Amino acid sequence: MKIVVALGGNALQKEGAPATAEAQLDVIKKTAVYLADMIEEGHQIVIVHGNGPQVGRIVIQNEYASKVTPAMPFDVCGAMSQGMIGYHIQQALRCELVKRGISKPVTSVVTQVVVDKDDEGFKNPTKPIGPFYTKEEAEKIVSEKGYKMKEDAGRGYRRVVASPQPKEIVEISTIKKLFNDGQVLITVGGGGVPVVKNRNDELEGVAAVIDKDFAAEKLAEDLDADVLMILTAVDKIAINFGKPNQIDLDTMTIEEGKKYIEESQFAPGSMLPKVKATMKFVSSKEGRKAIIASLDKTKDALNGKSGTTIKSTDRVLCASI
């Protein structure tokens, strides 16, 4: 099968571990085992990764070093995070494939993604980036830097930035050529570097982070993938999450998903974009499949033994997702 795999933060770094390159590479080496399993079984995969913590730290590094060397704009920091994370995945996955006697090129493509300059996301920043802070630390940062800070799923406070919807993957023709050549691709990293088109159809970077789940969905449609698989820290989608009456879902229809969204069952910036992205993908064409699962249950999830499989029962609903 042709599978677009979207990697969550847990696939790139371990919570509580030092934010070093060595620590990140160590986690990615473990992640590469699960990716290699899919390749060994004959699946053709494309990898999309997030970059929230990493781009946030790159921005912090730029700010602290600004007295020594000029700080880079936000979109450039996003491109830097693509290169850094892509390099680590390339290295770790190639090493794992070599161990298994599999000869397959692994390539990263620094990717630009067009967004609408009038997107509502610019008016209401929701995308968390950077490290977690206590409430007191967050209030101090707001007063000193004017950043927008929001509580993130009970784990602390993080800076939030604009998260516009992806409209067009600029390098898609190159991605298709490499994909059709049988290469393992890492692309649309961090949702892609967000750019807008000016009056002359030229591209200009903007300060934002596109949600990697929505970008992965767009990529999956463009590549006519069979499966969109979003790997995260939990085994399944849950309703009443964290409550005594929590229910883990083996399957979810679009109709059910819309109902749960109306009930605010899914946290914005966390599970909500994953649910919306998978619903959109399975609605886009008959026979497409979407899965939300934990990284360590990848094999079982592909075989329907773990994770949540999203089903399409009413294609008309896609337009309003």
What CATH number is associated with residue 6? Answer: 3.40.1160.10
Range of the domain at 121: 1-309
The helix/strand/coil state of 279 is helix
- Total domain count for the chain? 1
Q: Which residues contact 195 (CB under 8 A, 6 or more apart)?
A: 75, 112, 113, 114, 115, 170, 203, 204, 205, 206
Q: Which residues pair with 2 in a beta bridge?
A: 44
- Res 319: pLDDT: 37
CA 274 to chain centre: 9
- Res 318: pLDDT: 41
Domain presence at residue 124? yes
Domain presence at residue 319? no
Low-confidence ranges of the chain (pLDDT < 50): 314-321
Query: Is-above-0.85 flag for pTM?
Result: yes
User: In 3D, which of 139, 119, 122, 138 has the Cα closest to residue 130?
Assistant: 138
Torsion angle (degrees, nearest 10) of CA 16, 20, 22, 23: 10
Q: Where are the alpha helices (DSSP H) in the chain?
A: 21-40, 52-64, 74-99, 135-145, 172-180, 212-222, 254-262, 271-284, 298-302
Domain presence at residue 203? yes
In this structure, the chain runs to a length of 321
Domain presence at residue 314? no
Domain presence at residue 136? yes
Q: Confirm if 101 and 40 have CB atoms less than 8 A apart.
A: no
- Res 152: pLDDT: 79
Domain presence at residue 316? no
Domain presence at residue 320? no
The catalytic site residues sit at 9-10, 127, 212, 274
Domain presence at residue 62? yes
